[in-house]
Chains A and B, each alone.
Chain A
Amino acid sequence: MRITQNMINDMARYQLSGMNSRLARIQEDLLSQRRVRRPSDDPAATAAALGFQTDLERIAQHLQSIEGATAWLNATDGALSAVTDALQEAREVAVQAASGTLASADQHTLGQEIGHLIDQIVAAGNTRHGSRYIFAGQQTDKAPFAVVAGGVAYAGDSGQILSEVDDQATMAINVSGDTAFPEVFRTLTDLRARVEAGDHAEVSSMIQDVDRAMDEVLAVRAQVGAKINRLAGTTSKLEAQKIGIMELNSKRIDTDMAAAITDYSTQQSVYQAALKVSARSLQSSLLDYLR
């Protein structure tokens, strides 16, 4: 095939331009540390990357919800612990009052003690987490318990506070005040009346009612404890998931720096060699050798 200077020029230009593009691309990979900067760089990797992005955001979301839920549950557990302590004291008072060896003035004092214990439990029932009453069901802006004539009134509802702590998994994080508490208040109010009245036999038989109330509270505490554990487990799982996804993501869309740097120096030497060769071949012609 006949060869002209223009053919050599054009071919040299085309090849050198191609090498320049490759060099520029590797440089961009190195500077941005990203191999996939646009969907067309690698559509499959882009699909994966976008998926990972939403996954990571959702995991962060769940972790945040878990944090809030755990704090709420811990506050619940603390309040219930105070309730248990108060019930324990009430039991001791009941035992004392049932002995039948006390004067009526002392009966009255014991009755008053139970009164104080009721107030303590009311205070525990009105615990707030942040600005919300934790035992009020969904009426979290109003204190749920108040002492009224004849007992304790509950102003909350039985609504659940739901939190999404994992994919498609919601947890009711609250204990509404119409669980366990009514039994406690009823028992203690009754007990107080009996103690004041000096009714030893009744007081004696009510000790098992106090025990039953304590058991109920313990049962609720066990549930709360189980939820706290479950959340801790979910947290570990999500943290591990997060790391796994971040690694996968990096593998697919970040630049492999070592490979890229090697690539860059190789391309550079190739480019230099091409430049040298072009310089030689573009210059000579027959006219150099004619007189």
Chain B
Amino acid sequence: MYSSFTTLETARSALQAQQQALQVVSQNIANANTPGFSRQAVTMAATSPSAAVDFHRDPHGADVGTGVEVKAIQRLRDVFLDFHIRREMESQGYWTTRQDALERVETLVNEPTDNGLNMALARFWRAWQAVADDPQDAGVRSNLIETAQSLASQLRSQAIGLRDVQQYFDSDFRGKATADINSTAEHVAVLNRQIAQIEQSGGQANNLKDQRDSLITGLARLVRVTTAVAPNGAIALFIGGHALVEQDHVNQISVVENAAGRAEARWTEDNSLVALGGGELRGLLDARDTVIPEYLTVLNQVTATLVTEVNALHASGFDAAGRTGQPFFSGADAFDISVAPELLADPARVATAAGPGALGDGSLALQIAQLQEAHIAPGGSASLAGFYQAAIVHLGTDAQQSNVMLENAKAMTLHLTQRQEAIAGVSLDEAASDLIRYQRAYEAAARVVSTVDELLDKLINGTGIVGR
């Protein structure tokens, strides 16, 4: 036995449910192009038969239902894929930065061209050879001075260029390590609180969760983060084992300068060092502290060896006026190397002879020219050119590797995002057919309402009026 209005109730619940479903489909369509949006789907379930109806249930019949309700609005997304995607984003962040650093070094180095250091060095030795062949010729001596100056200024400009690139990465690091991480962390903390509140009161914070996931993925590109989900739905974030966000509490990161004037990231609360595992920040640190210094060291070593060896020989030699003990180069490393100012002012001071009083003696100049082949590079088994060339090849292989790793990370990211899209993405075709489905169901339910209306009308207005 059931009330006359039961069917009406059932139809009403259907109208509501289909309308809700339409609303969800509409939300999906509206956000088809929103990055990070997870599509939502309604779970409809038949409502349980009411107690009153149960009491009068026909023991030989079936339960008569009381309608439909939207049990939940599901957020369709694969959490594990997100985890993998974050790893790849971290990798992408790291290799993008590293590749950028190596590309900048390659541009500065400018090899193999006619304008690189390799050629400049070769020209320098050649100029000494020409002096050895004609020590009395003033033109050949000034050419030597000019060639040496050109070499020195190339060394200096490369050193300065590298240092500038280092500064650039340093300031990039300062900005990203603080502003970006702290603001993202604050955001996540706020979302944690809001999501916990909504879910505790039985709601579903689907859109807020999407926002939070996007933020965490963005953060993963910057630095390696680990996540932990709390029972109340809040996500805790850790960097290097130290908590960044826990529920709605944030541990800020600040940047301090270390002894060498370089930026370091430290936790504000206890000043301990932030263990940056991967991502862009790690890439920036590696670029600043490893990639560039490696190459700067090579430059400095080449310069120091050049200055030491040439000066030692030159000081033992005699110029046309019998002067000895003069240095050829001034400076100690790639930042301050230059031709000695006395020589610049007076090229006649170039020492060419091994002993005084013999103007035709170019043997000292010949000895200097022969330094080209001598194994004077650090390590004692290579010439200066060989040492330098090996460093360039190492740079090339390093850069090549970064390019490959970056391409791999990009391809992997695409593959994983596609798989996530397959689950969480909005398909307009699917949404269109859903629209039709819910629309027709709505129309049919409305039809039920009119049918019941007519029945009731017949019952109320059309019965018991015989003979009236």
Q: Which residues of A contact B (CB under 8 A)?
A: 1-7, 10-11, 14, 36, 38-44, 46-47, 49-51, 53-54, 57-58, 60-61, 64-65, 68-69, 130-132, 136-141, 157, 159, 161-164, 167-168, 170, 253, 285-287, 290
Contacts and interface: CB of A to CB of B under 8 A. Distances in A.
B112 A49 contact: yes
A286 B432 contact: yes
A157 B423 CA distance: 95
Given A43-B400, A65-B129, A286-B432, A7 B418 contact: yes
B286 interface: no
B4 interface: no
B360 A290 contact: no
A203 B37 CA distance: 121
B359 A5 contact: no
B122 interface: yes
A39 B429 contact: no
A157 B360 CA distance: 10
B119 A53 contact: yes
B362 interface: yes
A6 B360 contact: no
Among B114, B133, B362, B432, max chain A CB count under 10 A is at B133
Interface string B273-297: 0000000000000000000000000
Nearest to B428: A285
A43 B396 contact: yes
14 contacts: A1-B422, A10-B421, A11-B418, A14-B410, A39-B396, A44-B393, A50-B385, A54-B122, A58-B372, A64-B126, A132-B136, A138-B361, A159-B358, A285-B432
A2 B112 contact: no
Contact of B422 (A4, A57, A141): A4
Contacts of A64: 126, 129-130, 133
Given A7-B425, A57-B123, A132 B133 contact: no
Contacts of B122: 53-54, 57-58
B393 A47 contact: yes
A61 B366 CA distance: 12
Contacts of A285: 428-429, 432
A83 B109 CA distance: 58
Contacts of A4: 421-422, 425-428
**What band does the interface of chain B fall in when counting residues whose beta carbon is under 8 Å from A?**
35 or more
A164 B395 CA distance: 34
Contacts of B309: none
A121 to B, nearest CB: 21
Contact of A38 (B353, B399, B428): B399
Interface in B100-157: 102-103, 106-107, 109, 111-112, 114, 118-119, 121-123, 125-126, 129-130, 132-134, 136-137
Nearest to B114: A53
A51 B136 contact: no
A141 B359 contact: yes
A94 B69 CA distance: 142
A5 B428 contact: yes
A26 B148 CA distance: 38
Contacts of B428: 4-5, 285-287
Contacts, number: 176
Contact of B358 (A1, A60, A157): A157
Interface string B356-397: 011111110010011011000000000001000110110111
Given A6-B425, A39-B111, A162-B363, A139 B358 contact: yes
B197 interface: no
B111 A50 contact: yes
Nearest to B320: A141
A1 B427 CA distance: 12
Interface in B6-33: 32-33
B396 A46 contact: yes
Nearest to B361: A138
A143 to B, nearest CB: 13
Interface of B: 32-33, 102-103, 106-107, 109, 111-112, 114, 118-119, 121-123, 125-126, 129-130, 132-134, 136-137, 353, 357-363, 366, 369-370, 372-373, 385, 389-390, 392-393, 395-400, 403, 410, 414, 417-419, 421-423, 425-430, 432-433, 436
Given A4-B421, A11-B418, A38-B399, A46 B392 contact: yes
Given A39-B112, A65-B129, A290 B436 contact: yes
B413 to A, nearest CB: 10
Contacts of B119: 53, 57
Contacts of A163: 132-133
Among B134, B362, B419, max chain A CB count under 10 A is at B134
B81 to A, nearest CB: 13
Among A4, A58, A161, max chain B CB count under 10 A is at A4
A137 B358 CA distance: 9
A66 B61 CA distance: 118
Contact of B118 (A54, A132, A161): A54
A6 B421 contact: yes
Contacts of B133: 64-65, 68-69, 163
A53 B111 CA distance: 11
B340 to A, nearest CB: 24
B26 to A, nearest CB: 14
Given A2-B422, A50-B392, A39 B136 contact: no
Contacts of A161: 360, 362
B418 A137 contact: no
Contact of A40 (B360, B396, B421, B432): B396
A7 B421 contact: yes
A40 B400 contact: yes
Please list the 4 inter-chain residue pairs (A to B) with the smallest Cβ-Cβ separation, ordered nearest first: A39-B396, A140-B360, A40-B399, A43-B396
A125 B33 CA distance: 95
Contacts of B396: 38-43, 46
